[in-house]
Amino acid sequence: MSETAATTAGSPAPVSAAAPFESFAVLHREHSELRQRCGKTKADALRDGVAENVRQFIRRAAATGVTLGEPSERKGAQAIIEYWCSELLGLPNPQSGDFKRVRLAEPSDTLQAAGATKAANARPDPETRDVIRLAATARLWRDSGKKGFLLTGDALSHAAKFRSMDDDIEKLVHASQKALQKIWMISTIAAIGGVTAVLLFLFVLVPLLSERAIVAIKKTALRDSNGESVRDSLWQLGLYQPLQKPYDLSGNILYREVKAPGLKLNAPNFSSATFISVDLQGSDLHNASFSNTSITGSNFNGANLSLTQFREANIAGTSFADAGLYRAIFDRACIGEDVNFEGADLRLASFWGATFDDRFPFDSKFRNSPWWLAEGWNSRQIAALLTAEQAGFFESKGFEKHIWPAHVKERAAANSPGASENQLAWDLATWGLPPPATPPLPSPSLSLDQICSSRVTVRASELSRPELALDAAEEAVCIVQRLKKSDSAPNLTWNLANLQDTRAYVLLQSGRSTEAADIYRNEVTPILDKDGGALFRAAVAHQAIDDRDLALAFLKRSVELRYVPSHEMHTLRAYIKGDFQKAIYEQIDRFRPSMPPPAFCQGARS
């Protein structure tokens, strides 16, 4: 009876005499080659005597333990033996000895003594451990019919390092990589499909839907009541507007009883259309065009109409109360008696050649609206506008939007010394300062150095109130005055004269005309002798102190420079009277003459 057969059940099978492999590397190579030879059917394995080859390999592998002293190599060799013992049981006609555990032979006495010290601190070889673990994982995947989980991410990258050491690992890595490529391809196709869908939506579907909405508006143009249909189409256009260029809604189109408050369109073109009882309150229609459009009984209250064109429009019974009309153009427009601009922001709006109904109530329709910041008025219109009540315009939306964001948040950053403070004072002055409650008391004549020496530096954000305009102006002047005394400072003469112009303008509105005239005469006009605005304000300052000869001299020079006063007509109205006013009105009408009303204006116009 053989030694193996005589082993009792459950005890490890002893190692029979067999030639050991020369080293662990040779053992591992033979292990890989044997695995390739065993990749056959059970019938082939029986015919080719594979089982006996496996038994012989196990005996030699076990005997190799005599030559292995490194713990990591012994552990790897034992794992290989156990692998083949497991495989042997799956081959045809197993023998009774195949069910016994085979143990690696003990190392020789010499190796055992040499390796004893190493064994105390030895750690398992990570690479060998990973190969065995990955090989076991690969076999499980193979035995499951290649339906188990595949490797991804770092696990796949790590396994790829050992693919050449084991055939099953190679197949598992290859299958995992192929699956990832398939996922990548599907993801790429999905991404391309998604991008294509977005592009089709943006450049095909949205333009198509927008065009259909415009066609729907034009089809209803001749109906007596088309408000709801047009409203729905306009809302649809507003929905697509961020993705579309400005819409062309011009031509012979009737917009009747359309209620679309809050509508948002970018630069829509409503030229030559007809608006009847249209409600666009609070809408955002910046850069729109209503040129040659007839607008009747409509509501633009609180709407953003900045940079909007109303050239030669015929407007009646319509309200622009609290609307943003910054740089809006009403040139040659026909404006009926019941059009309301109360509280509107008219900064840099243009009314050149606009015709107002003879019965137009300027005093109420321009209440709390800074008409003096607009342009294009003739002398008759200015005279009428001066009657408008402006006591509450400091609470208007236009004043709030212009002054507070620009200076409380200090967006007007100084590009040059004192620029922020000067800009604040200038803005407050051009909007117009409240008149002093009582005539100012005569103040002692102080030099600029004396004024600046007693001032404490203040940030512009702390001066953003009309009553503090003079503080802001003096702060700007003092900043430059201090710099001017520095040896390294650049030539600030022109800068200082410009700041002094602002300061004198504020003093003039504050009732301190003597100080203002002195500054204009000695500090401003000698330097800013080509600035028509500064010369005009100097003329008013000298008119205020009854120095009429010098006032007319400054006015003449201002006219020669073709300066047309605007904000000064409101802010300095207390000083512009009599013959001096007449001379100024003649100057205005020379450059902005009254024009005959357009043919489409109905009734008496002026």
Residue 114: what pLDDT? 56
pLDDT category of residue 271 using cuts at 50, 70 and 90 = very high
Residue 596 vs residue 341, higher pLDDT: 341
> Positive or negative CA dihedral for 305, 306, 312, 318?
positive
> Positive or negative CA dihedral for 166, 167, 172, 173?
positive
Task: Quote the CA–CA distance of 50 and 32 in Å, as a whole number.
Answer: 14
The model scores a pTM over 0.85: no
> pLDDT for 209-255, tens place per residue?
888 888 888 877 655 556 788 899 999 999 988 888 999 999 989 99
User: What mean pLDDT is reported for the chain?
Assistant: 82
Residue 102: what pLDDT? 86
Whether the pLDDT of residue 117 is over 80: the answer is no
> pLDDT for 512-536, tens place per residue?
999 999 999 999 999 999 999 999 9
SS3 85: helix
Average pLDDT over residues 269-283: 95
Task: Quote the CA–CA distance of 290 and 330 in Å, as a whole number.
Answer: 10
H/E stretch holding 47: helix 42-48
Average pLDDT over residues 575-586: 93
Query: Among 111-125, 330-344, 436-450, 587-601, which range has the highest average pLDDT?
Result: 330-344
> pLDDT for 296-325, tens place per residue?
999 999 999 999 999 999 999 999 999 999
Whether the pLDDT of residue 4 is over 80: the answer is no
Q: Give 123's strand partners.
A: none
Query: Among 1-10, 290-299, 388-397, which range has the highest average pLDDT?
Result: 290-299
H/E stretch holding 355: strand 355-356
CB 346 within 8 A of CB 322: no
H/E stretch holding 275: strand 274-276
Residue 460 vs residue 113, higher pLDDT: 113
Whether the pLDDT of residue 406 is over 80: the answer is no
The rounded Cα 61 to chain-centroid distance in angstroms is 71
Q: Give 102's strand partners.
A: 13
Task: Quote the CA–CA distance of 192 and 206 in Å, as a whole number.
Answer: 20
Strand 355-356 to 274-276 pairing: unpaired
DSSP symbol at 107:
P
Task: Quote the CA–CA distance of 62 and 80 in Å, as a whole number.
Answer: 10
Q: Which residue has the tokens 């600030």?
A: 492
CB 280 within 8 A of CB 300: yes
CB 346 within 8 A of CB 368: no
Q: Give percent above pLDDT 70 in the chain.
A: 80
CB 507 within 8 A of CB 519: yes
Q: How many CB atoms lie within 10 A of CB 232?
A: 15
Q: Give 279's strand partners.
A: 259, 299
Strand 294-296 to 274-276 pairing: parallel
CB 195 within 8 A of CB 225: no
Helix ranges (DSSP H) in 331-388: 362-365, 379-385
Residue 127's identity, in one-letter code, is E
166-176 exposure pattern, b = at least 16 Cβ within 10 A, e = fewer: bbbbbebbebb
Q: Which domains does the chain have, with CATH numbers?
A: 24-124 (no CATH), 220-386 (2.160.20.80), 401-572 (1.25.40.10)
pLDDT category of residue 598 using cuts at 50, 70 and 90 = confident
Whether the pLDDT of residue 338 is over 60: the answer is yes
| Phi, psi dihedral angles at 299 (to 5 degrees) | -125, 115
Q: How many CB atoms lie within 10 A of CB 382?
A: 24
pLDDT category of residue 396 using cuts at 50, 70 and 90 = low
Residue 520: what pLDDT? 96
Alpha carbon distances (Å) from 296 to 167, 192, 224, 318, 321: 88, 51, 15, 6, 15
Residue 48: what pLDDT? 59
Average pLDDT over residues 375-393: 88
Task: Quote the CA–CA distance of 391 and 316 in Å, as a whole number.
Answer: 27
Q: Give 255's strand partners.
A: 275
> pLDDT for 466-487, tens place per residue?
567 888 888 888 888 877 776 5
HEC profile of 144-166: CCCCCCCCCHHHHHHHHCCHHHC
Helix ranges (DSSP H) in 201-226: 206-219
The rounded Cα 351 to chain-centroid distance in angstroms is 35
CB 88 within 8 A of CB 98: yes
DSSP symbol at 284:
B
Q: How many CB atoms lie within 10 A of CB 89?
A: 10
Residue 359 vs residue 84, higher pLDDT: 359
Residue 269 vs residue 177, higher pLDDT: 269
Task: Quote the CA–CA distance of 417 and 451 in Å, as a whole number.
Answer: 18
pLDDT category of residue 15 using cuts at 50, 70 and 90 = very low
Radius of gyration of the chain (CA): 48
Q: Give 275's strand partners.
A: 255, 295
pLDDT category of residue 8 using cuts at 50, 70 and 90 = very low
Average pLDDT over residues 392-401: 65
CB 289 within 8 A of CB 308: yes
Residue 491: what pLDDT? 74
Q: Which residue has the tokens 């209440």?
A: 367
Q: What is the dihedral of CA 538, 541, 546, 550, to 10 degrees?
A: -10
Helices 24-37 and 71-88, interaxial angle, to 10°?
Answer: 20
The rounded Cα 269 to chain-centroid distance in angstroms is 27
pLDDT category of residue 45 using cuts at 50, 70 and 90 = low
Residue 267's identity, in one-letter code, is A
> pLDDT for 65-99, tens place per residue?
888 888 888 888 888 888 888 787 777 778 878 77
